[in-house]
Amino acid sequence: MTDPTRSTAVGLLARMNAGAISAEEVTRIYLDRIDRLEGQIKAFLHRDADASLAKARDVDARRKAGKPVGALAGVPIALKDVLCTKGEPTTCASRMLQNFRPPYNATVIEKLIAADAIPVGKTNMDEFAMGSSTENSAFGPTRNPWDTDRIPGGSSGGSAAAVAADFAPISLGSDTGGSIRQPAALCGIVGLKPTYGRVSRYGLIAFASSLDQIGPFSHDLADTALLLKIISGKDPLDATSVDEPVPDYPASLDTPPDTLRIGLVREFFGEGLDPEVEAAIREAIRVYEAAGATVKEVSLPHSKYGAPAYYLVAPAECSSNLARYDGTIYGHRAEDFSPASPEEKDLPPLIRMMMASRAEGFGPEVKRRIMLGTFALSAGYADQYYNQALKVRRLIRNDFDAAFKDVDVLIGPTTPTAAFKLGEKTADPLAMYLSDIYTITTNLAGIPGLSIPCGLTKSGLPIGLQLLAPAFAEDKLLRTARVFEKATDWHTKRPVLV
Amino acid sequence: MSYTMIIGLEVHVQLTTESKMFTSCGTDFGLPPNTQTDPVSLGMPGTLPVMNGRAFELALKTAVALGADIAGFTKWDRKNYYYPDLPKNYQISQYDLPFSTGGRLEIPPQKDGSGGGRCALTRVHLEEDTGKLTHGAGGFSEVDLNRAGIPLMEIVSEPEIRTPQDAKACLEELRLTLRYLGVSDCEMQEGSLRCDANVNIHIDVDGKKVATPIVEIKNLNSFRSVERAIQYEAERQFDQWKKDGKTIKDAPKQTRGWSDPEGVTKVQREKETAADYRYFPEPDLVPVVVDDAWIARVKASIGELPSERRRRFSSEYGLSDYDANVLVEQGQDVADYYDAVAKATGAYKLASNWVQQDILRIVKERKVPIGECPVGPAALADLINRVGRSELNTNQGREVLGKMIETGEPAEAIIEAGGYRMVSDKGAIAAAVEAALAANPKAIEDLKGGKKKPEAVKGFLRGQVMKQTGGKADPALVGELLDAKLAELAG
C-alpha cells in the first residue's frame, strides 16, 4: 500500500470509507512522521497526540457501526495557532498569549469538529500574524521543508510547512495581506484566501479585522474545494460574514469554466520580479493558452499604492485590536513595573503595569505595527494617513471591478521571489513587506485569491501562480485553476525529508 | 454685574433589552460582580460583536419620538482609550455618522408659570456601556463588568438651557418621555439614567459678553443634584472669574465631579490626560441602513407622548395646564387611569379631582403603582357617576371610596350595606331644618341682629341640618329649604 502521508484528504477519505485503513492508523502514521521530522521543520507550537488518537478512534467506531460520519471523518488537519480552540493553548506565537486557553472554539473549529476532522496540532506563525517569514514567532522560526535553511513564508508558515512536509494533508491558515498565499507559494502547495465574509472570523484572533480571512492549505484543488465548502457560510456570531449560498465546490471542480478569459496584471510583472519566477508564470500562461484561454494584459493602476495603504489600514486596526493585551485581564503581566525612567515616576501604577506588560509581551514587529497604527489614527494625522488609505482602498477596489469587466480571472506571480534564507530580511522590515507586494491588494479589495504550485527554481524551490477572481467567485477561481492543475504535475511534487 | 448661564446636558440611558448591545449576554441589574458576562462582553481574543437589533429599534423609536433627523446610513466607530472599564480598551460607539441628529424636547413650565419651552437636541447615538470601577482602600480598584456592553443611548442637548430649574425640568421631561416610550426604566439610582452637564456663564461686562471656561459636571445622581450642582457651578465660575479673570479662551474644558453631601463641584482626574480617542470605523460591524418604511413602522409604534397628552387633557377635557401636568407627569399608567375615568364619566374636572386628591394619595401612601390600586378606573367612574346623579353627596362618596379601597367591593355593595343612600325626601329634610333652627335660637338672633355675616350663620346651620340627617341629606336641597325658612323668619 502506498504511504498514506503522500496522499490527499480526498484520497485518504476514499481509503478510509472503503475500510482499507482506519482513521487511527492514518492519524498514527502522520503523528509518527511528525515525531520523526518535526525537529527539522518546527511547524507546530502545541500538539496533543493522545487527544488526536482518541478522536480518530471515535470516528472509527462510528464508521464501523455504520453511523453517519462527517465530510472529513478521520482526516488529520493542522491549525494555525491564531484560531481559538476550546481549553487548548491558543498563543498567536506570542509571549503575550503564552498561557491563553480560550473557553470557546472558533466557528471554523466547530465546523471541523462537526466534519469529524482530526486536529493534529496548532501551527507556528508570525506573532499575531504579522510577518512574511514566520521568523517573528516568539517561539522560534519554522523552516521550509524544501530547504530547511530557508523560510516557509508567513505569517501562516507553520500551516504551510505542515502540509508541505506531509505532517497533515490539509491545514488552515489566515490571510491578512498574503499570509496564506505567500507561504503556499514558497512551500509548493495550494493556498486559498476566500472572499472577505465567505468564512466566519469568529474565534480568529484579530490582526486587522477588515482584511483577515481564514482559508485552507492543501496539496491539490480537490482538497481545497472540500475544505472550503466545510468552513464557508454565514455565521450569526460574525456580522461581517455574508449570507451568500455556499456552492458545492468539489462537485463542480472538474467542470471547466464556460469562459476562460484571463487577465495578466501588468503591474505584477515589474521591477523586483525574479526572472525564474517570471519564466514559470509565462509558462503557466502558455499552458492556459494551450487550453483555449484568451489572455490579455490588464492594468490595476493603483497597485503601487497598495503597500502604503495596507501598511496604514492594517496597523491602524491592529493598534486597536491588540489594545486589550495589557496585562489587566488578557495577556502577559509584567512582575516588575517600577518606573523605568524618571518620566515614568509620575504615572499611575496601572499605566506602568500596562506599559511594562506590553513591552515584555510583544515582539518588535508587533510593536512596530502598533506604533505605526496608533500614529496613523492620531488626531491631526488621521486625515493624511488613515483616511487617505481608505480612499486608496476604494480606488484599488475600483481597479479590480474595472478589470473583471473584461476577464474572468487575473493571474500573476504570488511572490516576487522563491523562499529566501532565514535571517535574510529580518533586519530590513521594508524588504520583508515587499514579499507581499502581489498579494496585499487582494485583501484591500476583499476578493478571493489562490496560489497554486507552478514550477520549481533551478535550485529546487517552489514557485506559486496567483489567481484572483471577483468576490464570491471562488467556484470559478477553483475551476480555472483546475484547468492548469490537470495539465501539469507541479501539485504532485513533494520535498524529500529524511 | 449680571450673567447668563449656558447649560447643555449629556444624558446616558440604558435601554431595556434582554441582552447586551453586541452579544446575547443578559442585562439584569444587581447580580454579583462579573457574573453577567460572556466571552464577547469580556472582550476575549477572537470574539466579535453582533448588533442587538432590538436595542437599535428602541433607540430609533426614541429619536423618531424626539423629532430627530434619522440618518439613512449609520455606522459604528471605535473609541480607543486605555482604561479597565472596558476590557477591549476601546468602546464601540458612534462618531461622525450617528443614527440621528437634531430633535427637540418640550419642557413644561415651572409651577409658578416661569421657564419651560423647547430644548433643542444635538444628536442621539447608540453605544455600549462600560464596566463599573470601584476605587477602594489601599490603592486597589475593583472592576465589575456586568454593566460592560449594556446598550447605552446618548442624548446630547444643545447648550440652550438657561436656568438650573429648566435643566432639571428638561431631564425630568426626558425621563417621562422615555418611560412613555417604554425604552428605558430610567432609574437614576440604578444608573440606567445618567446625566452630565456642561456649564459656563456669559458675564455682561459693560455691555460686552465675557464667557468663562466650560466645565463638565459629572456624578449627578439625582434630579435635585442636577439643579443644585449647576447653580453652584455657575456661582463658582463667577467667583473664579472675579478672582482670575480667566475666560473660555484661557482654559480648556474641565471635568468636575459633584459632591452631593458637600454641595460643591471638585476637579476630577481624567481617564486619559490627552483625550485623543483615535476614532475609526468599527471593522467588525456592518453599517445600518434605515429606510423610510422602517421609520414609518417605528413611528406607528409610538403612542401619545407626554407633551401631546398634556395638550389633549387641556383641549379635550378642559383641564388647567397645572392639572393636566400633574396627571401626565405621574407616568403613563396614571394618565391612562385618568383618561379612562374621564371618558366613563364625562365629568372631566371632577374625575381629575378624584384621581388627584383620592387615588394618587392612596397609591402614594401605599407606595404601589396605580395599576395595583384596589379601585380601578371603572369602579371609580361608577362612584363619580353616583355622586353626579345625586345618589351620594361628595362626603359620602369619599367615605364609600375609603371602604371600596379597604374591601375591594364595588360602590353598589358598600352603599347598600352601609345605608349610604342620600336623603332627598323634602319632608324629612324640612323637619331637620326645623329641628336645627329650634335647637339654635342664638344663631337666628345673630342673623337678625346683623352681628355675624349671613353666610357664616347659614354655613353653621347647614352643618347642623346635615348632622341631624346623619350626613346623608342632599346638600342642594338642604340649602334650598334652609334659605326658604330663613327668608320666612326674616320676613
* One-letter identity of residue A117: A
d(CA A20, CA A14): 9
d(CA B47, CA B42): 9
Half-sphere exposure of A118 (CA within 13 A, CB side): 34
Contacts of A386 in chain B (CB under 8 A): 280
Q: A213-240 burial, b for 16+ CB within 10 Å, e for fewer? A: bbbbbbbbbbbbbbbbbbbbbebebbbb
3-state secondary structure of B69: strand
* β-pair partners for A452: A465
pLDDT of B491 reads: 63
What does the pLDDT average to over A411-423?
Answer: 97
* Helix (H) or strand (E) run with residue A107 in it: helix A107-114
Contacts of B75 in chain A (CB under 8 A): none
3-state secondary structure of A98: coil
Spans of chain B below 50 pLDDT? 271-274
d(CA A377, CA B81): 12
Using a CB–CB cutoff of 8 Å, tell me whether A84 touches chain B.
Answer: yes
pLDDT of B273 reads: 44
Annotated active-site positions of A, please? Answer: 80, 155, 179
Number of residues written out for chain B: 491
Identity of the residue in B49, B89, B286 whose CB atom sits nearest the CB atom of A323: B89
* β-pair partners for B470: none
A305: Cα separation from own chain's centroid: 23
Q: Give the contacts of A380 (CB within 8 A, at least 6 positions apart).
A: none
pLDDT of B450 reads: 74
A:B CB pairs within 8 Å: 103
Cβ B46–A202 below 8 Å, yes or no?
Answer: yes
**DSSP per-residue string spanning B386-443:** HHHTTSS-HHHHHHHHHHHHHH---HHHHHHHHT---B--HHHHHHHHHHHHHH-HHH
97-116 of A, contacting B, C-beta below 8 A: 97, 100, 102-104, 106
d(CA A307, CA A311): 6
Determine the residue among B22, B76, B145, B278 to mutate to test chain A binding: the one whose Cβ has the most chain A Cβ atoms within 10 Å.
B278
Would you say residue A1 has pLDDT above 80?
no
Cβ B284–A204 below 8 Å, yes or no?
Answer: no
Burial of B30 per CB tally in 10 Å (0-12, 13-18, 19+): exposed
- DSSP, res A170: E
d(CA A438, CA A305): 12
CB-based contact A447:A277 (threshold 8 Å): no
pLDDT of B272 reads: 41
A400: Cα separation from own chain's centroid: 22
d(CA B147, CA B152): 10
d(CA B203, CA B212): 8
235-254 of A, contacting B, C-beta below 8 A: 236-240
Question: Min CA distance, A439 vs chain B (Å)?
Answer: 21
pLDDT of B36 reads: 96
Question: Min CA distance, B247 vs chain A (Å)?
Answer: 25
d(CA B94, CA B276): 15
Rg (CA), chain A: 22
Question: Min CA distance, B84 vs chain A (Å)?
Answer: 7
Report ipTM for this prediction.
0.96
Half-sphere exposure of A307 (CA within 13 A, CB side): 12
Cβ B43–A330 below 8 Å, yes or no?
Answer: yes
CB-based contact A126:A83 (threshold 8 Å): no
CB-based contact A210:A313 (threshold 8 Å): yes
pTM: 0.91
pLDDT of A383 reads: 87
* Helix (H) or strand (E) run with residue A463 in it: strand A462-468
Cβ A330–B280 below 8 Å, yes or no?
Answer: no
Using a CB–CB cutoff of 8 Å, tell me whether A488 touches chain B.
Answer: no
Using a CB–CB cutoff of 8 Å, tell me whether B49 touches chain A.
Answer: yes
d(CA A336, CA A346): 16
Cβ A102–B45 below 8 Å, yes or no?
Answer: yes
Cβ A205–B276 below 8 Å, yes or no?
Answer: no
Cβ B46–A103 below 8 Å, yes or no?
Answer: no
Start-to-end Cα distance in chain B: 70
Identity of the residue in A203, A208, A374 whose CB atom sits nearest the CB atom of B46: A203
Unique residue bearing C-alpha cell 460582580: B33
What does the pLDDT average to over A98-105?
Answer: 97
**DSSP per-residue string spanning B147-199:** STT-EEEEEEE-S-B-SHHHHHHHHHHHHHHHHHHTS----TTTTSEEEEEEE
Determine the residue among A377, A383, A443 to mutate to test chain B binding: the one whose Cβ has the most chain B Cβ atoms within 10 Å.
A377
Contacts of B280 in chain A (CB under 8 A): 316-317, 320, 377, 382, 386
d(CA B478, CA B304): 45
Distances (CA, A) of A114 to A19, A85, A352, B242: 21, 14, 45, 74
72-101 of B, contacting A, C-beta below 8 A: 78, 80, 82, 84, 87-90
Q: C-alpha angle with apex A456: A453 to A458, nearest 5 degrees?
A: 170
pLDDT of B434 reads: 84
Cβ A239–B286 below 8 Å, yes or no?
Answer: yes
Identity of the residue in B88, B276, B279 whose CB atom sits nearest the CB atom of A324: B88
Q: What would the 3-class secondary structure string for B215-283 be?
A: EEEEEECCHHHHHHHHHHHHHHHHHHHHHHCCCCCCCCCEEEEEECCCCEEEECCCCCCCCCCCCEECC
Assigned C-alpha cell, A126? 508570525
Half-sphere exposure of B450 (CA within 13 A, CB side): 0
Question: Min CA distance, B99 vs chain A (Å)?
Answer: 18
Using a CB–CB cutoff of 8 Å, tell me whether A294 touches chain B.
Answer: no
d(CA A273, CA B117): 72
Nearest to A129 by CA among A165, A91, A76: A91
CB-based contact A59:A118 (threshold 8 Å): yes
Percentage helix, strand, coil for chain A under 3-state DSSP, each rounded to 5:
45, 15, 45
Contacts of A377 in chain B (CB under 8 A): 80, 278-280
Contacts of A329 in chain B (CB under 8 A): 42-43, 84, 87
Assigned C-alpha cell, A473? 467567485
Cβ A236–B276 below 8 Å, yes or no?
Answer: no
Cβ A239–B51 below 8 Å, yes or no?
Answer: yes
* pLDDT single digits (tens) B163-221: 999 999 999 999 999 999 999 999 999 999 999 999 999 999 999 999 999 999 998 99
* pLDDT single digits (tens) A227-273: 999 999 999 999 999 999 999 999 999 999 999 999 999 999 988 89
Nearest to A138 by CA among A153, A155, A120: A155
